[in-house]
Amino acid sequence: MHELSITRNIVAIVEEAAKGRRVRGVTLEVGELSGVVSEAIAFCFDVVTAGTALEGASLEIHKIEGRARCESCGAEFATATLFAACACGSGRLTRLHGEELNVKSMELMEAA
């Protein structure tokens, strides 16, 4: 399960950005074509954040739909797989969205 190490990296990134302040919440963007199982990140989050500035923080995950543009006919369409083909039959696609894995935002607690 590589999501455990991904979750550890997310926590490290947020902790560094928080500069010692407590984190109340984190919002992630996870693309459907990224190969990351967002449910596994959510499952690991509480364990990984224990003893960190993120302990007790909420986690919100926004899934980003996979979208591609056909290089042959120019059509844009939703795709749930990296190996999709266009309705015109072409497999020459440019992926537009869906490969993201971003820390979109974090909510910090007020400094004491």
Whether pLDDT at 112 is above 70: no
Mean pLDDT of 25-53: 96
| Helix, strand, coil share (%) of the chain residues, nearest 5 | 25, 30, 45
Whether pLDDT at 110 is above 90: no
Domain assignment present for residue 74? The answer is: no
Domain assignment present for residue 60? The answer is: yes
Predicted local confidence at residue 1, as pLDDT: 53
| Domain range enclosing 42 | 3-65+98-108
Looking at 24-28, 43-47, 103-107, 108-112, which range is the least confident one?
108-112
Domain assignment present for residue 61? The answer is: yes
Q: Percent of the chain having pLDDT more than 90?
A: 91
Domain assignment present for residue 73? The answer is: no
Domain assignment present for residue 91? The answer is: no
Whether pLDDT at 101 is above 60: yes
Residue 99, phi-psi category: left (phi > 0), alpha (psi -120 to 50), beta (remainder): alpha
Mean pLDDT of 85-107: 95
Domain assignment present for residue 20? The answer is: yes
Mean pLDDT of 81-86: 90
Predicted local confidence at residue 2, as pLDDT: 86
CATH of the domain at 57: 3.30.2320.50
Q: What span, in angstroms and rounded, lies between the C-alpha atoms of 59 and 74?
A: 37
Domain assignment present for residue 87? The answer is: no
| Band of pLDDT at residue 82, cut at 50, 70 and 90 | confident
Domain assignment present for residue 50? The answer is: yes
Domain count, the chain: 1
